Amino acid sequence: MITDAVIPALDEAANIGRVVESLAPFGLRRVVVCDNGSTDGTGDVARAAGAEVVVEPQRGYGAACLAALAHLRRDPPDTVLFLDGDGADDVRRVPDLLAPIEQDWADMVIGSRTLGRAEQGAITPVQKFGNVLSSTLVSAFFKVKFTDLGPFRAISWAGLERLEMADRDFGWTVEMQAKAARRGLRCAEIPVDAHVRMAGQSKVSGTVKGSVKAGVKILYTIGREALRR
Ligand SMILES: Nc1nc2c(ncn2[C@@H]2O[C@H](COP(=O)(O)OP(=O)(O)OP(=O)(O)O)[C@@H](O)[C@H]2O)c(=O)[nH]1
Ligand SMILES: [Mg+2]
């Protein structure tokens, strides 16, 4: 099974090198870092660590993921592994994320930080609440049990193409799960531990503005997907 990794990154120069290098043991074909207009040299650090760097000037988590996928589409892998660029994800679980797809009993595997152990401070109380709320709503509307909307996940290329992903910011992860459930992809979760970001500034859950924007967008995305026919 050919697997490529996609890492959206905004100003993660202090972390991205170690994140890219940490994937070396897992036999991935390519690691694609999407630099989303960083001003700290994230792209250069990622390249030096062995990643392919795609530049997406328009900000947004989903916009970065879409740019990386457009890059992969020229020579697609069998499976895409997504993770964040801040070192918060437990890469030791990469084989566990990929196994259900390789064994062909799942099309998408979510790393659930609720099922795993979160380091003190890795998930804020607001984020925890938001995760429980949105996972419960997704489970209720789409009839597939999820316990987290975490960024660390794997999905088959064929499954991903069926989702016609479009969200350009914080709705990205929930859009993928809602559509996967809706469109009949086989979904699974495995426990993953969550670390505190290695260094640098939080852009989402560590700030009030980021949390509110992400929360609103996630709830809106759930509603939109629930109403879609
Ligand atoms: N491409 C892109 N990536 C972003 C953007 N905002 C955040 N990121 C990346 O998305 C990931 C998650 O952002 P974080 O700032 O870690 O958000 P968080 O995990 O909620 O907060 P922390 O607790 O600080 O880790 C990181 O890899 C960021 O570099 C953005 O606008 N564009
Ligand atoms: Mg983070």
Distance CA 62, CA 183 (A): 20
| Tokens linked to 65 | 């993921």
| Tokens linked to 112 | 């659930």
Ligand at shortest distance from the CA of 60: 1
pLDDT at 205: 85
Rounded to the nearest angstrom, the gap between the alpha carbon of residue 160 and the centroid of all alpha carbons in its chain is 13
Beta bridge partners of 52: 32
> How many angstroms separate the alpha carbon of residue 100 from the centre of ligand 2?
25
> How many angstroms separate the alpha carbon of residue 81 from the centre of ligand 2?
16
pLDDT at 196: 94
Helix (H) or strand (E) holding 144: none
Contact 109, 194 (CB under 8 A): no
**Residues with a beta carbon under 5 angstroms from ion ligand 2:** 86, 88, 197
Helix (H) or strand (E) holding 51: none
Ligand at shortest distance from the CA of 56: 1
Alpha-helical runs (H) found in 5-60: 16-22, 42-48
Probe target for ligand 1 pocket from 10, 39, 211, with the most ligand atoms within 8 Å of CB: 10
Place of tokens 């975490």: 150
> Mapping DSSP to helix (H, G, I), strand (E, B) and coil, where does residue 63 land?
helix
DSSP class of residue 87 equals S
> How many angstroms separate the alpha carbon of residue 201 from the centre of ligand 1?
9
Output the residue whose Cα is nearest ligand 1's atom 11.
84
> How many angstroms separate the alpha carbon of residue 202 from the centre of ligand 2?
6
Distance CA 79, CA 215 (A): 28
List domains and CATH numbers for the chain: 3-227 (3.90.550.10)
Place of tokens 């109403």: 227
Burial annotation 8-41 (CB, 10 A radius, 16+ → b, else e): bbbbbbbbbbebbebbeebebebbbbbbbbbebe
Ligand at shortest distance from the CA of 10: 1
Contact 114, 131 (CB under 8 A): yes
pLDDT tens digit sequence for 154-163: 999 999 999 9
Probe target for ligand 1 pocket from 84, 131, 152, with the most ligand atoms within 8 Å of CB: 84
Contact 138, 178 (CB under 8 A): yes
| pLDDT beneath 50, residues of the chain | none
pLDDT at 228: 85
Atom of ligand 1 nearest to the CA of 121: 23
pLDDT at 215: 93
Helix (H) or strand (E) holding 32: strand 30-35
